[in-house]
Structure 1
Amino acid sequence: MAVTIAQLRALVTTVDSGSFTAAARDLGVGQSAVSHAVAGLERELGGPVVVRGAVAAATPLGERLLGHARSALASVDALEAVVRPGTARGTVRLAAVPTVCQGLLPRLRELWAVVLPDVDVQVYEGDDDEMPEWLEAGTVDAAVLVDPSVVPDGGVVVAKDEMAAVVRRDHPLADAAALTLDDLHEDGLVAGGGGCEYQIERMHELAGQPFRYAHRVREMSTMFGMIQRGEGVSIVPSLGRVMLPDDLVMVPTTPRLERTLVLSGPSSRPWHPLAKALVDAV
């Protein structure tokens, strides 16, 4: 089998960008070159790897190949960075949870724009448990991990924040020094928004209480809307303060719980050189 790096790069870029046209633009080549590379890969493998359509997507065979292709490309990029050192340039995919995307990444991206001006940081937003999955599967090159049990080799702590209650500005306890879980349960706890359910569960453990909630949602916008309508209150990381509507406020909680945020590349495959560049720059 004579699979080439160019073919693997064409496959990954086409799937990531969603079309042969966009892949050609990202790779700086003609569309026909991308099409020929993917077609050559399909001949070598004996089956289609990309579904041609309005949006190019991986076939089941392509999906099985993607993880290996990303690992191979990361190794090649790392090798080239060693043998041809120079100004970092290119695109790096970075995953983070919503509160980090809103409350931390703007500051980090301002820093990277200055020290890594030729690096394009593409942001992928997901939940806490998706960060390590995407990182190890090769969906992204770097991620801000939330409370990892161990800081991965090469990773760096980029921030810490605390969990805080979110209530309406006209709530009777909006000016309290701190709110307990019992205070919050009286109004009905809205859990899960923005992927913070693990931290809310942990707070119940620290308080010696069973984890319970009145509502369980996925999106923070849904959670904020319910609080605005008086349908409950919630707990979110303090980095999410920038996301609050004007009629909602944050109040400290007891027990206190801190999150640790770690910027890292994968632990099971070579790092993309630009992932290392991001970490080295903070």
Structure 2
Amino acid sequence: MIEHLDSIPALVPKLLLHLLEGENLSQAATSLAVSQPAASKAIRRAESLLGFALIKRDARPLELTEEGRLVAQFARQRLEQETMLIRQLRMIRKEGAGVVKIASFGASASTHMLPRLFESVRRDLPKVSVGISEFNDDEALLALREGRVDFATIVDHEYLDLEIIPIVTDRLVALVHEDDPLALLPAISVADLETRHFILTKGGSEALIRAWFSTSGTPLQFKHTAVQLTSILAMIRSGLGVSIVAELAVPDFHPEIRVLPLTPEYPRRIGLARRSGSFSSHAAQRLWRYLCQHRESLLS
């Protein structure tokens, strides 16, 4: 008895499939471009290895045994799988079909930058699908470096191991309740916040906020933290404090909340990054090349 199907002649499952579909042995051999004696020899060799018959030789026309039908049905399933695989590979080659995985940090990227970016991609690369997973800044960068995603949104810095396409420029803004005296100011400085309860976002801008505070020589002191922007807005409405977030993260509708610029301003450039080297898929490679070719229009 054999241990692996590779032990029997590769011709046999195909021959049996042709017999199952109504051909005689001569026709089956001709369909597979072999001689009838070679076909008969291959079947006898397989039967010898298996220890049982695959065809009923006393039947006219030839019929398959139950075991022969099993092998023929296996051949049919494999043929169908090969046909499907070839169709998929052709589609990938022709249309760049596939799923591209992207790690995104915070609402700035997930709700503003990426949807606008891939609106144009959808028109030109309709077979490319995008799967977005949300992380904070450090986790998105780690997911990219570990190869769990194809691309990641990052705040543009110099990374020797990454290629980066700048996409959009954002800035930090202050969020205060509309009844707060700070709402009357034209801009918010570090000094304005020194005595206020501060709500620190954990959703992607924490490092930038700390850096903005440090520009004035004042370490960041915070009373509360929250990951979701909706939670931060609710806390401000409840009078629990004030906050600073990325401007692109702020929803268009934010009742009772004033959005104020910072002084000095603290802009940040957001880009899409990938690891240097090979792409994990043809779809990822095609999408990246598209973004590189259209980077000027993407930035406008």
Aligned identity (percent) is 28
Query: For residues 101-112 of structure 1, what are the structure 2 equivalents within 5 Å?
Result: 101-112=110-121
Q: Take 2:250 and 2:134, find their aligned partners in 1: how far apart are those partners? A: 17
Distance 1:173 1:135, change over 3 A: same
Query: How far has the Cα of 1:269 moved from its partner?
Result: 5.7
Q: Take 1:259 and 1:276, find their aligned partners in 2: how far apart are those partners? A: 27
Contact (CA 8 Å) 1:127, 1:194: kept in 2 or not? Answer: yes
Alpha-carbon displacement from aligned partner over 1:95-123 (angstroms, at most 9, x marks no partner): 11122101211201211111111111111
Query: For residues 160-179 of structure 1, what are the structure 2 equivalents within 5 Å?
Result: 160-179=169-188
Aligned counterpart in structure 1 of residue 265 of structure 2, from 237, 240, 256: 256
Query: How far has the Cα of 1:94 moved from its partner?
Result: 1.0
Q: Take 1:126 and 1:187, find their aligned partners in 2: how far apart are those partners? A: 29
Partner residue, 1:234: 243
Unaligned runs of 5+ in 2: 1-88, 292-300
Q: CA RMSD in A?
A: 2.3
Residue 138 (1) aligns with residue 183 (2): no
Unaligned runs of 5+ in 1: 1-79
Distance 1:278 1:168, change over 3 A: farther
Distance 1:117 1:223, change over 3 A: same
Query: Aligned partner of 2:115: which letter?
Result: P
SS of equivalent residue, structure 2 residue 148: coil
Distance 1:231 1:153, change over 3 A: closer
Q: Take 1:202 and 1:241, find their aligned partners in 2: how far apart are those partners? A: 20
Query: For residues 22-171 of structure 1, what are the structure 2 equivalents within 5 Å?
Result: 85-98=93-106, 99-150=108-159, 154-171=163-180
Q: Take 2:166 and 2:160, find their aligned partners in 1: how far apart are those partners? A: 8
Contact (CA 8 Å) 2:171, 2:246: kept in 1 or not? Answer: yes
Report the more deviating stretch, 162-171 or 116-125: 162-171
Query: Larger radius of gyration, structure 1 or 2?
Result: 2
Query: Aligned partner of 2:191: which letter?
Result: D
Q: Take 1:249 and 1:151, find their aligned partners in 2: how far apart are those partners? A: 40
TM-score by length of 2: 0.61
Query: How far has the Cα of 1:278 moved from its partner?
Result: 3.0
> How many pairs does the alignment contain?
201
Contact (CA 8 Å) 1:96, 1:143: kept in 2 or not? Answer: yes
TM-score by length of 1: 0.65
